[in-house]
Structure 1
């Protein structure tokens, strides 16, 4: 990937479809860089197309580019505001595709998302990113390593970004699967840990994951068929991406179902623990009740009671307490109450 300078988070590369050459258009600090980029876009030769990328732009940053692409005001609004659901829109000759970027934090089981808007015209691609993750840098590297796909024109950029984003989904799904496996081991471990919060936390991340992947499946599927102005050679590449996103979508739904099962199993185990505790408490209460009853009867201190003057009365009462408690303890142990 050629070195990239930044102005307002902007970078621009002009590709030659025939030679695979990538020309970085300088974007020095200040407004002149923006003007130089717009000037170079007006001088595109036959067989050249440009890819302009903006990081979290404002409306002013899109003025010249939106005019160059002929973007609809609604498209400009979507690009600036972000937080779009994955979708595909057609504005004349421009195809707009909204994607959710997704990455898995290393410090804990947390999925974070961002947004990328792609506007693909006949000779120009505009990408707009919101959020820390930037798939366009990896996509540009892939284009440089595989210049053969550049013969597809701007469609090659759309494929490279889609492929990069979908690959990141697959990597995140592997991480979520690993965390889920560890959580399942803890659910069925002998230790009595309350994992309800951990399960709900991971489930919340899977729901956020699903919201990024599931709406993208029909969007990519629509790109796998013949389209006017698209080379037929590019269609197998999009079918490959569609296959990957379909597998990831299936994996995410599987993870969601497994989390539901893990939560049900954990709640069932917690109910079993509570029943065990109640049985233990009831067993010990029954064991202690008999000596208490005997001691209570002999502690009434009535004037006329049997064995009050008997020398073996006290040892007999103690023996009755111990024997009754022992018999009850043995019975509860045999029935697994203790």
Structure 2
């Protein structure tokens, strides 16, 4: 969203009303989902007082140790993952998101606006999804996150295929109708960076699903939740494998592009090298006849000047035709 969204904190409560969820500002003790977006200290304190818990700070959410991202405290589950924000822009970035599950409610703390959250919000507004508990909201958000990552990887795959066509369609490159190699190199770098971010996000999700499954495994009331979580875990595993495939393909295209750049540079250097060899014999001949010695037979010969010119041209053409015959030109 805009700069205003980035500077201002927001706190929303989603309260169950009949078959739908109602979105309200502030803290409602009867809500099942509390969504904190760049929370101000007073907003975080309101939630902590209402729910009797302690929310992690942004610095704590950025910790990379598994023990700091996934833990159980006084019966509540704290799970932090990194998600891609602004994936369709020129500057995508990763941002931590914390899910706090306790009793029947869910608390999310985030400092960016991933599209997966907006998708869930739109479903709630249209009444497409009906969530009875915070755990159900959690599963809905996680499903949207996995679907969004799959869409990102599918788009990257299509764009990488287009880059591959631009690189390996040699006649097109010779005609100069495709992108320049340096532009292709920049495109490949951006796709590689976004794919690496997607993989990091998938790895954090995979750890979350393993932790969540371990925490709820064996609880009879959560059998349906375990099934959904395991399904999502398999999806994340397959997406991680596909992500690794894309990274390998991107690295291959990167090497191929650098190879074409080297070939192009070698061709330029070869032209200068051949030119130097071709003009070397005429230079030697001109240097010889430029010496002012008295006893030079051709110096007083009437045909000395044209003879020297013909000799220089012949000495230049001989290397040229030799290189041509060898296929070096």
- TM-score bracket, normalised by the shorter chain, equals 0.7 to 0.9
**1:207-222 counterparts in 2 under 5 A?**
207-222=196-211
Is 1:306 matched up with 2:297?
yes
Change over 3 Å in CA distance of 1:332–1:80 after alignment to 2:
closer
Q: Gaps (5+ residues) in structure 2?
A: 1-7
Calculate the aligned-residue CA RMSD, in Å.
2.9
Alignment of 1:1-338 (within 5 A): 9-15=10-16, 21-24=19-22, 26-27=24-25, 33-34=26-27, 37-38=28-29, 41=30, 50-71=32-53, 73=54, 76-78=55-57, 82-83=61-62, 85=64, 87-108=69-90, 110-133=91-114, 135-142=116-123, 144-147=127-130, 150=131, 153-188=133-168, 189=170, 190=173, 193-194=181-182, 195-224=184-213, 226-228=217-219, 230-338=221-329
Count of residue pairs brought into register by the alignment: 306
Shift of the alpha carbon at 1:156? 0.8
For residues 234 and 276 of structure 1, the distance between their equivalents in structure 2, rounded to whole angstroms, comes to 62
Give the TM-score, by structure 2 length.
0.80
**Cα offsets for 1:89-111 (capped at 9, x unmatched):** 21222112212232454454x42
Q: CA deviation at 1:198?
A: 4.3
Q: Is the 8 A contact 1:104 1:172 kept in 2?
A: no
* Partner Cα distance (2:89, 2:23) in 1: 38
Which residue number corresponds to residue 46 of structure 1? none
Match of 1:4 in 2: none
The alpha-carbon deviation at position 10 of structure 1 amounts to: 2.1
Change (3 A) 1:171 1:275: same
The structure richer in helix per residue is: 2
- Is the alpha carbon distance of 1:146 and 1:292 closer, same or farther for their aligned partners in structure 2, counting shifts above 3 Å? same
Does the 8 Å contact 1:52/1:127 carry over to 2?
yes
Cα separation, 1, equivalents of 2:118 and 2:187: 34
CA deviations on 1:180-201 (whole Å, 9 max, x unpaired) are 3333344445356335444444
User: How much does 1:305 deviate?
Assistant: 0.8
- Cα separation, partners in 2 of 1:227 and 1:70, compared to 1, 3 Å: farther
TM-score (norm 1): 0.78
